[in-house]
Amino acid sequence: MSELVTGLQQDHLSELVRGQELPLPALDPAHIAFILELLQRAYEGIKADHPEAVSGGEEKDINALMVHRLNHLVGDDPLASLMVRAVSRGTETMNFNASCIEKRPDIQISLTGWQHLFPLIVECKLIDRPKRKTADMYCRDGLARFIRGDYAWTNREAMMLAYVRDGASIAHHLHPFLASAMAKSPPDYSVVTLPQKCFPALPDAAKSIHGRSFFYVHETQSGNTPGNIAIWHLWVHS
């Protein structure tokens, strides 16, 4: 039975990565900045139009509103439509070794001029310390998925989006948490560089870099390492 599973896993992987050299090339920082700004615009729009959902709804409710608004923005903005093909929520994908073929990242952004099978992944989390939704949960249930190869294992970058309800910020909450993680031996969350503010136009955005704890197992690149991953953090505030 195990041989059959292994064979099926290789089948899934070989079809997904057919003809691709991994990890894929890095996205242009200008494109990253534009997408982060698009996410910020979408959030500000739904906060204005649906304040109760933003201030009190569940993460899945905000994600659904975000995806709808992002697709409308892409359709209405000629520049956005040149860069983004479509935005989806909960679309099934597989992890790095196809041991799970039903992973569902929160938001996937399919880019024009880019293989649609390898979208930009955005993992979303609520930050609300009174409800125990903290930087620890943000990293344990979000960031860790990129490090162990659940999400974005073909890519060199991914995004994390925090819906902040308690006044927390990257500088005062995520940065100290990851600094403590980095001081451990070996570092928790494979921290290579701590979050650094990346785009002045965005109130609360930063980039951190992390190692990845897996190897490629598909036949053409078996044993190769994926290298580090850049995580672009955007914290938006209710």
Residues 6+ apart with CB under 8 A from 7: none
Report the percentage of the chain scoring pLDDT > 70.
98
pLDDT, position 4: 53
Q: Which two tokens stand for residue 66?
A: 């975000």
Q: Which helix (H) or strand (E) holds 193?
A: strand 191-197
Separation of alpha carbons 190 and 213, rounded Å:
8
Pairing, β 157-164 against β 229-237: parallel
pLDDT, position 115: 83
Q: Which of 139, 129, 160, 177 is nearest to 234 (CA)?
A: 160
Cα distances (Å, whole numbers) of residue 221 to 1, 77, 116, 208, 225: 24, 39, 21, 26, 9
Q: Render pLDDT for 93-143 as a digit per residue (tens, 0 to 9).
A: 999 999 999 999 999 999 998 888 999 999 999 999 999 999 999 999 999
Q: Which of 123, 124, 105 is nearest to 163 (CA)?
A: 124
Beta bridge partners of 205: 234
Is the separation of the CB atoms in 65 and 46 below 8 Å?
A: yes
Separation of alpha carbons 114 and 120, rounded Å:
10
pLDDT higher than 90, residue 89: yes
Q: Render pLDDT for 134-168 as a digit per residue (tens, 0 to 9).
A: 999 999 999 999 999 999 999 999 999 999 999 99
pTM attached to this predicted model: 0.96
Q: Render pLDDT for 165-217 as a digit per residue (tens, 0 to 9).
A: 999 999 999 999 999 999 999 999 999 999 999 999 999 999 999 999 999 99
Q: Which of 201, 179, 90 is nearest to 135 (CA)?
A: 179
Q: Which of 64, 40, 206 is nearest to 135 (CA)?
A: 206
Can you give the residue range of the structural domain that contains 94?
Answer: 2-237
Q: Render pLDDT for 9-47 as a digit per residue (tens, 0 to 9).
A: 999 999 999 999 999 999 999 999 999 999 999 999 999
pLDDT higher than 60, residue 65: yes
How many domains is the chain partitioned into structurally? 1
pLDDT, position 6: 80
Q: Which of 52, 57, 232 is nearest to 160 (CA)?
A: 232
219: pLDDT confidence band, cut at 50, 70 and 90?
confident
Pairing, β 191-197 against β 157-164: unpaired
- Over residues 67-88, mean pLDDT: 96
- Over residues 61-89, mean pLDDT: 97
